[in-house]
Amino acid sequence: MNRRNIIKSLLAAAFLASSFSLPALASVEVAGVKFDDTINVAGKELKLNGAGLRTKVFFKVYAAGLYLTEKKNTVPDVLALQGPRRVAITMLREVSSEDFGKAFMDGLKANTDNSERTKILPQTMKFGEVFAQIQALKKGDQMLLDWTPGEGTQCYLNGKKIGELMPDVAFYNAVLRIWLGDKPVDSSLKPALLGEK
């Protein structure tokens, strides 16, 4: 083997080795918003279960992604899953905090019964205070709703904590049912978050 062929072989081997060692940075794109395939919450790796678009009439309101410790495609499985969870929302238009809060409360009411709403009322009121802290959600704003076992639900806006921790998993599951319940806020977003093609 001459020197030129040896160099070619070494370069090919180096290229192959580097292509295997580079991590795949996969992501899903929804209306120009990228959702990473995996993220880290509370020291655990979460996988993107699904992502989709919330529309109202003809308007794109936000892109949402659901992250879980393992992929699940039924609502009972999602709600029963142990470990941290995240809903990531990126706004695609400006919405007043009053309108966003009202939509949140309407979704909660439509997908929980009276006894459950009574049980989570203190946390729901605390969550309502989150919307009182901000005038509007602007295009490009990112809201994260994280569930961490042993701690609770924490809301973040553009990376900054807003509101208090809400400790009951029943509250987080009630929030998830806004999108995943029997009367979801957007009938096309529900299957997208459940990872249905």
Is residue 10 one of the residues assigned to a domain? no
pTM here is 0.85
**Of 146 and 21, which is predicted with more confidence?**
146
Task: Express each pLDDT in 87-139 by its tens digit.
Answer: 999 999 999 999 998 999 999 999 999 999 999 999 999 888 888 888 899 99
Phi, psi of 97 (to 5 degrees): -65, -30
Angle at which helix 169-180 crosses helix 97-111, to 10 degrees, equals 100
Can you tell me the mean pLDDT for 157-182?
95
Is residue 130 one of the residues assigned to a domain? yes
Can you tell me the mean pLDDT for 141-161?
96
Is residue 164 one of the residues assigned to a domain? yes
Is residue 119 one of the residues assigned to a domain? yes
Token pair 């509101």 is found at: 163
Task: Specify the pLDDT at position 14.
Answer: 41
pLDDT greater than 80 at residue 1: no
Instruction: For 146-189, give the DSSP string.
Output: EEETTTEEEEEETTEEEEEEE--HHHHHHHHHHHHSSS-S-TTH
Is residue 5 one of the residues assigned to a domain? no
Q: How many domains does the chain have?
A: 1
Is residue 14 one of the residues assigned to a domain? no
Task: Specify the pLDDT at position 132.
Answer: 80
Maximum distance among all Cα pairs of the chain, rounded to whole angstroms: 82
**Of 69 and 129, which is predicted with more confidence?**
69
Tell me which residue range forms the domain holding 124: 24-193
Is residue 43 one of the residues assigned to a domain? yes
Confidence of residue 143 (pLDDT cuts 50, 70, 90): very high
CATH of the domain at 118: 3.50.70.10
pLDDT greater than 70 at residue 35: yes
> Alpha-carbon torsion 92, 95, 97, 99, what sign?
negative
Is residue 3 one of the residues assigned to a domain? no
**Of 193 and 27, which is predicted with more confidence?**
193
In this prediction, what percent of the chain has a pLDDT beyond 70?
87
Q: Tell me, what DSSP letter sits at residue 14?
A: H
